[in-house]
Amino acid sequence: MELHGSAVRLFLGFLLSLLLLLTPLSNARFVVEKNNLRVTSPEKIRGTHDSAIGNFGIPQYGGSMAGAVVYPKENQKGCKEFTDFGISFKSKPGALPTFVLVDRGDCFFALKVWNAQKAGASAVLVADDIEEPLITMDSPEEDGSTAKYIENITI
C-alpha cells in the first residue's frame, strides 16, 4: 500500500510541476504596438483610427507625419515592384510626402513596404478588409530572399 501512495504523490508532484511550468506561458501576452492614424479627408472616414506599427523599418515613435495618401491603380497589394507598372510615389518639391495605401494579403508586409519605398513612398498604410483585432506587421523569418530587403527598409 505504501508503494501505491508514493506513486500517487510522485504523479501529483509531476502534475503540479507541469502546471507551474505552463502557467507563465498561458499568462503571457503578445503586445501589439499601437498608434493613431488621423484622417482629415474625405469626410466619410474623417477621424482618428487605431493602427498597428510594423515590426521592421524605422518607426517614428512619438512623432507625427502628414502626407497625401495614394491608392495605386495597379499592384494594389504591393507584392510586385511598382516600377514594373511605371508607378512612382516620389513627391514633387513643396508637396506633402506620399503615403501609399496597399491591401493586405498575398505577400509579407515587409515586401509591400520595400516595394513602395523603392518607388519613392514616405510611408505605407496596409488596409485589412476584415474587421478584426489589430496585429503587428511582423517581419518574416530571414532567409536568402528576405534578408536582401528587410535590412534596407527605412520608412
Q: What is the pLDDT of residues 98-132, one digit of tens each?
A: 999 999 999 988 899 999 999 999 999 998 877 87
Separation of first and last alpha carbons in the chain: 70
pLDDT in tens, 140-150: 565 556 667 77
Q: What's the length of the chain?
A: 155
83 and 118 Cβ atoms separated by less than 8 Å: yes
Confidence band (pLDDT; 50, 70, 90) for 25? very low
CA distances from 148 to 5, 36, 61, 143 (A): 61, 30, 25, 9
Non-local (6+) Cβ contacts of 88 within 8 A are 82, 119, 120
In three-state secondary structure terms, 6 is helix
CA distance 16 to 39: 52
Enter the pTM of the model.
0.71
